[in-house]
Every structure is written in structure tokens, then in C-alpha cells.
């Protein structure tokens, strides 16, 4: 199993550009989520999904969009990048979060100029 | 709103020492608590998961305890090694759907 994979590893954008961060898992997990990690703020939940076709907002959803068309993939879209979105983004997945551990991807480091 | 705090923010110990990392949370209505390890520039690796009905979990040299009523958890690391140097994060699951609330982490350095 590859586990949770994220692409790209690094990305630099200009203000106003859009892009999609990719996340995929091969463990047949229903639950997937996106977090951002910022110095002094810790990890904060952006969006999450409890299964294909079902998504919901987390703590900091503004400026981000998600969809879940398959069990394996959960892309995160930045609609119009802003410097405040400079961060490290982590994708996570779990079979059933109440009883099972969450597996995190290696992260995408995004810089918005 | 659930808040998770980890003390200390940083810790430096000599190799071989036993140590305790602390985590506190404000709302006892949690599903579980997890401890993660994060190496610089890397993702998070799960160390231990404690269900809300459990008091402790052990894995090798690691032991995590949970006291839900007081809103506290501790991670005990026995006989620390330089390879244990990393940031340790605790997180509580506040709803069944996947919402983890993280603490700020404790950055541990174990000196040879």
C-alpha cells in the first residue's frame, strides 16, 4: 500500500491564481480530511468527507473547495490564492475515526506571493 | 469550542531519561485522543490512540494515559533515545465525522 499520497510536494503561486492540491489513498478509507499547519496556530481542519459524494466544512473553510467523486481521491481547490493561504497542507484518511487511527500524507508546502 | 494545550512547548533531555509530555483539553465530550509524532518537514505518524472509555494504551517504550473527567492526557516515553527527537502532537476527536482538534505540540530533543 502506498498509504496517503499528496501532490505536489511544493508549490509557489501568485495572488489570484487557482490550483488543486491532490490527495489519494489506497486503503479503502471512507473518511478523508484536509488540514493546514501554520506556525503558532497548529493544525486546523479545512474540509472533510465521510464518503464519496459527502463533504462538510471544518474550522477554516473559506477560500477552499472540495469534492469527493471517488473513495480514493479528495482534491482541495484554492479558488483565488491569497498570501494568507501560505501554509503546509496535510491530507488524512481513516477507516472509522472513532476507533481507528488517522493516516496522514507527507504534506504540500504552498507559498502564495 | 474545544481547545487543546500541550506543555511544555519544547523539551531537551539527555539520552536514557524517562520523560512525560502533557496534553490538556477543555471539553471532556471527546470520542478519542491520539498522540502523533512529526519529524521536521514530514507528515504525522500516529503513535497511540486512546478511546474515550479507556484509561491508557501502551506501545513499546510509549505509554499514554487519559483522564477524561479532568481533561488531561500524558505521554510517557521510557529510556529516551536520540531517535525520539521530534515534535509530539496530541489531538482529540470531537465528532464522529473526522474533526480532530490538535494541540500546539511539544518539540523534544534527546541529546546523546
**Chain B contact present for A2, CB below 8 A:** no
Minimal CA–CA distance to B30: which of B3, B59, B64, B57? Answer: B3
Q: What is the chain A residue with the closest CA to B101?
A: A44
> A107 contacts in B (CB within 8 Å)?
41-43
* Sign, Cα dihedral of A91, B9, B40, B45: negative
C-alpha cell at B75: 505521554
Instruction: Say which range, A7-16, A39-48, B54-63, has the weakest mean pLDDT.
Output: A39-48
Q: How far apart are CA B76 and CA A86, in angstroms?
A: 34
Contact A44 B102 (CB under 8 A): yes
Check whether A96 has a pLDDT greater than 90: no
**Chain B contact present for A61, CB below 8 A:** no
Q: pLDDT tens for residues B39-63?
A: 998 999 999 999 999 999 999 999 9
C-alpha cell at A91: 491530507
Confidence of residue B96 (pLDDT cuts 50, 70, 90): low
Confidence of residue A100 (pLDDT cuts 50, 70, 90): confident
Integer angstrom CA distances of residue A36 from A56, A61, B13, B28, B73: 16, 10, 30, 25, 24
* Sign, Cα dihedral of A97, A103, A105, A110: positive
Q: What value, to the nearest 5°, has the Cα angle with vertex A80 and ends A84 and A41? A: 25
Amino acid at each position: 500500500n502506498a498509504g496517503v499520497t499528496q501532490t505536489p510536494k511544493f508549490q509557489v503561486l501568485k495572488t489570484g491564481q487557482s490550483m488543486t492540491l491532490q490527495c489519494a489513498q489506497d486503503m479503502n478509507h471512507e473518511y478523508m480530511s484536509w488540514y493546514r499547519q501554520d506556525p503558532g496556530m497548529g493544525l486546523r481542519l479545512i474540509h472533510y468527507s465521510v464518503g464519496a459524494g459527502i463533504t462538510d466544512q471544518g474550522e477554516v473553510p473559506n477560500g477552499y473547495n472540495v469534492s469527493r467523486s471517488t473513495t480514493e481521491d479528495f482534491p482541495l481547490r484554492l479558488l483565488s490564492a491569497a498570501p494568507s493561504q501560505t501554509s503546509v497542507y496535510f491530507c488524512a484518511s481513516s477507516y472509522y475515526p472513532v476507533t481507528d487511527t488517522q493516516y496522514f500524507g507527507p504534506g504540500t508546502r504552498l507559498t502564495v506571493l | 469550542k474545544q481547545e487543546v494545550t500541550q506543555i511544555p512547548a519544547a523539551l531537551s533531555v539527555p539520552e536514557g531519561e524517562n520523560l512525560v509530555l502533557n496534553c490538556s483539553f477543555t471539553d471532556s465530550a471527546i470520542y478519542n485522543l491520539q498522540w502523533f509524532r512529526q519529524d521536521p518537514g514530514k507528515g504525522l505518524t500516529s503513535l497511540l490512540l486512546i478511546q474515550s472509555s479507556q484509561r491508557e494504551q501502551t506501545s513499546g517504550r510509549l505509554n499514554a494515559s487519559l483522564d477524561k473527567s479532568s481533561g488531561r492526557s500524558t505521554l510517557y516515553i521510557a529510556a529516551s533515545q536520540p531517535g525520539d527527537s521530534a515534535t509530539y502532537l496530541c489531538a482529540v476527536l470531537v465528532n464522529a465525522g473526522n474533526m480532530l482538534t490538535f494541540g500546539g505540540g511539544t518539540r523534544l530533543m534527546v541529546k546523546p
